[in-house]
Structure 1
Amino acid sequence: MAEANVEIPGSLRRERPWLYPYNRRLRHLQGLTIRNLALTPRQHAAHPLTLDDEVLPSTRQSPAKALAQREHRELGHSRSSSDLRPLRPAADGSPRKLDRDRPAARLRRRSTLDWTDAPLQTRQRRLENVLRSRMADVFFSLHVDGEDAPVYISEVVPQTMNPNFRSFDLSPAGPSVTRRAEVQVRVWAKNADMRSYRFLIEMTLSLRALQFVGKTLEGFRQPLPENCILFHLTDGVYTSFTDFPTPDPPLDLPVRALSRVQPTASYGALMRLATLDECIQDALATRARLEAQINDLLAAHEPALNTLSRASAARESLSATTAAAALERRRLDAARSRRDELRSRLASRRSLIAAARESISQTQNDLAAARPALDAQKQAVQGLADEMHAQRRRICADLCDIFPIEPAPRPAPPLAFTIRGLRLPPHGDFTSAGLDDGEVGAALGHAAQLVGAAAAYLGVALPYGILARGSRSEIEDGISATAGARGMVYPLYLKGAVRYKFEYGVFLLDKDVEMLAAALGVKVLDVRQTLANLLPVDQACCFLAQERTSIVF
């Protein structure tokens, strides 16, 4: 029971055609395919063995011979395509092979693998030559008896050994062709060595003699012969190994014995058929008479009908001409309106160009009239700049005289300076210097006043505003994140102030000195050296005043 339910796979089932052999016609043919194309026929060599018992397959696979082959398995292939048996001249002088049981006198060997060790270029060239000789351009044509011209010519498939042609339909050829079962196939080919196409294959066959291959070629695994032509019909693929038609099988039609004679029709039915036939004949005669009368009327009134047709054609031509004329009038009106618009635009542009030219000429006249006044203004401005430079130089000289910065007397540390005789500790060390808080506040107040005055006269904006009040001077921070919206004021004196605020105020003063030095082109080495950085700034004020106030026209 278990074996009865086992299903056979589809690949192992034998496919059967739908069309019977006697039903195959050219109308069922849909395409052709050629496999294993060969331009030259294969030369079959003679069998190397003598016609004796050695030729039988049973002797070739005998147990004794298999044992001998296993004992001599280590021997390699001779790598030769010719027989190694010795040759003996015959009576007529031609060489012939000796018998197997005679001793060997001389071996003749010809190797066919002489190019195994050849260079890669040589091997590649020979392989390309082999492929070029096997590949070809192929097309075919179909012919039937009684037709001089071919009923179908295929397209050319270039450079192939297994051409697949496009599908075709022979219905336009007519029933005289599509109802035939015999056809003649002619194949033409040309390779790279040929100048023109050569007639290769001619096959005259009957579609009844074709052998069924399968529904498609994908599942067919059997080898095909050279120049094998496959026919694609509506129910599958066929091929032909012979062109003899198979005899049509007899049709087994059932034959029933007539037991008794049965009547075909009654008398009344026959009378009704006769009446119906008379009616049909009368209707046909009436139709013929009406046709003749209509033709006579048309022939009698032919001039009037021609006049009516000409009048209708004239009316249609008049309506078409009227429509075309109206269209052209509309186009003409549109072109005229466009022309008037362009003319108005051109006139307005011309007026604008004339006004612009007048304005340009007036401006040029004004420039020519104002040029002497411009020269006088340039001279006045240059004189004012010179006066400003002189005034700035005098002010800077006065500042140097008012706030002299000199090195501190010994034993003072290096880079220690005094301003108006008041000392400031170097490096901002106000704790270990041992100076009086009042002296430090007064020195910082003089330094702050000097920086503020120099920045004001030279036009340098300081980031931190200075409030010069002598020994109680202060500095304002309005840009830091901790300053808030109104800013914060830090003291420049130590007496009575918070120490970290004092130190931050001295730091802000040093940043103002650095900003002033950068504006004057003086390089600062250490921002904590307040008086040491202020001394070159004070000296550079007099020399850079002219460059900062020069005017270029």
Structure 2
Amino acid sequence: MAQSTSQSSSLNQAEGTWLLPSNRKLRNLVSISLRNISLADPCPSRSRSKAIDDDALPQTLKSPAKLVALREQKALGHSRSSTDLHAVLEEAATHSAATDEAVVNGSPVAGEQKQRTPGAALDSPRRPEFKRLRRRSTIEWANATPQKRQERLENMTKERMADVFFSVHVKCVEEPVYVSETVQKTMNPTFRHIAWLNCGPGVTRRKELSLRVWARGAKLGSWQQLLHLKLELSALQYLGRSLDDLDRSLPQNAVLFHMIDGIYTSFSDSLSDYGPPGPDSSQRKKTAASQRSLPTSSFDALLRLSKLDDSIQDALATRDQLAHGLEVLLQNNRQALCERDEVAETEDRLMTIDYAKKTVEKQLEKAQKQQEEKRQSLSVRRRLMKTDSVLRGAIAKKMRQDRSDSYTSRDEHDATRRAVQNQRRRVCEDIQRCYPIETVDGKTLGFSIRELHLPNSEDLDLEQPEVVSAALGHVAHVLQLLAFYLKQNLPYPVIPRGSNSTVYDPISLLQHNSRSASANAEQTLRTYPLFSKSVPRFRFEYAVFLLNQDIRVLLESAYNLRVLDIRQTLPNLKYLLFVATAGEGELPARKAGGVRGLMRVPALERSGSQDSTASGMSGLTLIGNGKPRGAADRLREISGKGKNAVPV
């Protein structure tokens, strides 16, 4: 123990480590990595850091394995493979093997051993059983296809791969203090840096730890514990700053601890086999080699080695002779072989030319078909173009004939449009006279229609309900007339009935508790009153809102005007009538007999009737002194309220 500690300290000083063995704590551990993972138990007969087929290395010229192979009694044969050598126990005892070897080889050493007394054999300890080496056949590999070889190599590699993770445990803590991530399909996993932030000083200041490595291979369906190490950080062995300084291979399932000052590990062997070479390593090797006692070879071993060398030389000579014979045979028949190759190339070229010929014929046939189709398409296009040319000529001739009439039609259209606009102005002026909208003294933005004051939508309670409903009925009637004369559809149709007017909403339906699904019930629910008596308040307010929406839609759709405040009902309606009556020139006079019901038609009148007499008298008042009267005066005259009303 003292010797290993001194060696470790000398290596630390040689490499310039920062930490003393007593100062290594868990907080100095940066990460952990594994090398040469093996899920199966290693072969006990295989020596560590020695390859199976390393016969060419100088240190294996006189290995015990070769001495055992030289003592085999089997005849010399050709080697079928040089890979994957397996060891087998000797079938016979050591004494019988030595006797048979003396009979076959005639060795004097064996004769002397035969003449030895049995007592001497009993006095000397019995040598351990040796193992002979047998080679496995790989002819199946030699004759396999590259795909098969690749598949076998992948299967072999897959069997060695494994999914690995580790956990770190300390005493007095039941759960692991750290669990790493899982590295999949690897033989040499390198894990991430360990984060000790979640661990307290009671864990990070410890020197001992328990490391458990878990693995899951391709053949294993579940996780298995691969390693369980209980160690102290002070007993770790230093390897160097990095693995590049290591000149020897690591054993199976080697665990490397990456500290802040370098890489450490824990070996069961001495540190001199794996530690970094020091400045006097070569001198120590020479001293160890001089002090080592090497065993010498026997005469039988040298004789068998000589026979083996002769057999190898004979095999090499036979190989060279066969190669020379094959070369001479090829040289003698070179002309015939060349002609055979030329014939094969010519046949291949002819087949290629024949295939190209058939391909060109198919392309030619396809091109001819396309040419015929294009010719037919062109002929059809020519006929269509000719027909279209004749039609365009006729249309152009007609356009030249109608061009002179287009100016006249355009002037007539403009005149008609102006006349319609002027008639609309006159009609709107008559509506404004029938339903005058005037300001109310002492009230800002206060207006009345036919002397009925109508506040805005928020102050409807300032007037009596009868006055408000009557004013809203007048507004509904005005909107219906304007929509008719301006040819604009109202989104919410109004039904003017005086103080019992209503508004219909075909777009939305308010929530209700009634479960009736009939058409009449739905129409009733969509009809909202413009009066507040005997109806829910919210339906009356919603009806006023729909009425204001109709005014806004008329302004925007007919005149592209924007409403500033939708709650001002009468100001917005006054603005609409003002814009509708605006225009250039005087208002046109109403044509006589414009309204058929106001005309006197003798053929259709009921003679002797008071109604017909009143109608006839009213028809005479349409034109008085050549001056047309307003629509309001005529309506008053018909209803009997005018100054010149005809008594009934």
Return the TM-score normalized by structure 2: 0.36
